[in-house]
Structure 1
């Protein structure tokens, strides 16, 4: 079969799923619309606790659809932390365009942890609180400093913002975060083909984030093909599909760490 025919075959297979996803997200408050990114909302959506009334330490992990057409395929993820009695959240994330400006893609700054990502409403993936969370924040900050791809950014297959979040989460497996299948780049492991899953509850094999398999208590079983993730999570009775993400129950209740 010629290369051209193979490409046409892939387009035929993906077109119905792409159309369904497009209709779904366009119908949901237009969060993937063509608005100007410079004027898009960055307002918080009410998923983060108010530091003024929340003395305990908090770690939250978020995902939001990316800008423009890329949002149909993938999400941007980030980690927000607040130490005990702190008056504000600090957000750790990777932003590609910052590389030319500052020489690093890693951005650590004070901002609303649940702010819209250029208009896209974020999803809360994990909320961890309690007296033991300050120690987890220490390890998160160490992992942020040790991120090995701070001088490199590729939308596909990585390293990108999801590669960064997955790297940090692997160093703090107590968070047990299952990144969504739309977090393209989460499976990028560099030249090392074997690692823990991002949740730290299983293992995975990946060839430069382009092809691989993963199995874990939190993730279930996942197949990564050309950066697209297909999976089944028997624990939560969820399916994982490209573009559409997880189809099944969500858990947003805070996890208390003793």
Structure 2
């Protein structure tokens, strides 16, 4: 019994300390008091991307708003077809029809927070994968009005994570502080990618484990993740995100 208590305490501490640290840091960050005061304009990030004349897929993320920004990012998908100037943005939101297309600029700030490119695929590989990504978006299970829950999911990160699981050729995973990415659905606790590269075991978005070539190794607790990435060497920390080792 003492053994169980000791390791349970260590497990909780591993998640609690980074979360408290992130909360303390976030209180010192200058941020808008509400969504009305936030900057939602284009960040200009895509001006530096050389995508002219070729297809591209972006997985994007940015810190979310309010105090929850201390603990989580919001993520979305951007697609650009070959010989098309426009970038099409897809993300899930908590109002109206959940999965939105182009409701913001593809590289827009999110609650005044600068977006980051989680991964980018371009050229022939992107052209090959775009139909698969679009099919996964269209087939998303929680795409009806009301199919949104901030925590533990399904939320914006649940949407992007499911597309990534259904198109494993994208060979990427969301940041460890993308709260909701681990939610597999009510009654679903086990999932494996079709190419068997990664395995996901999670109970209601509250506690779980993931392992494989793409995700590395993850322990998941109350929407946060701790673990490591082997493919792109990094330590995964709750609330803070990735600590790159390469």
Among candidates 150, 160, 163, match of residue 158 of structure 2: 163
Give the deviation of 1:167 after TM superposition. Answer: 1.1
* Alpha-carbon separation, structure 1, partners of 2:67 and 2:195: 28
* Alpha-carbon separation, structure 1, partners of 2:84 and 2:180: 32
CA RMSD of aligned residues (A): 2.7
Determine the structure 1 residue equivalent to 2:6: none
Among candidates 94, 110, 114, match of residue 117 of structure 1: 110
Among candidates 126, 136, 143, match of residue 150 of structure 1: 143
TM-score by length of 1: 0.80
* Alpha-carbon separation, structure 2, partners of 1:180 and 1:52: 24
Among candidates 203, 210, 215, match of residue 206 of structure 2: 210
* Alpha-carbon separation, structure 2, partners of 1:132 and 1:247: 28
Distance change in 2, residues 1:15/1:34 (3 Å): farther
Determine the structure 1 residue equivalent to 2:76: 78
Determine the structure 1 residue equivalent to 2:235: 239
TM-score by length of 2: 0.84
Mind listing any 5+ residue stretches in structure 2 that lack a counterpart? 1-8
> What is the count of residue pairs matched by the alignment?
233
Residue 220 of structure 2 aligns to a residue whose secondary structure is strand
Deviations 1:214-258 (A, max 9, x none): 0021221101112221112234442111111111147xxxxxxxx
Runs of at least 4 residues of structure 1 off by over 6 A? 50-53, 197-200
Determine the structure 2 residue equivalent to 1:20: 21
Residue 141 of structure 1 aligns to a residue whose secondary structure is helix
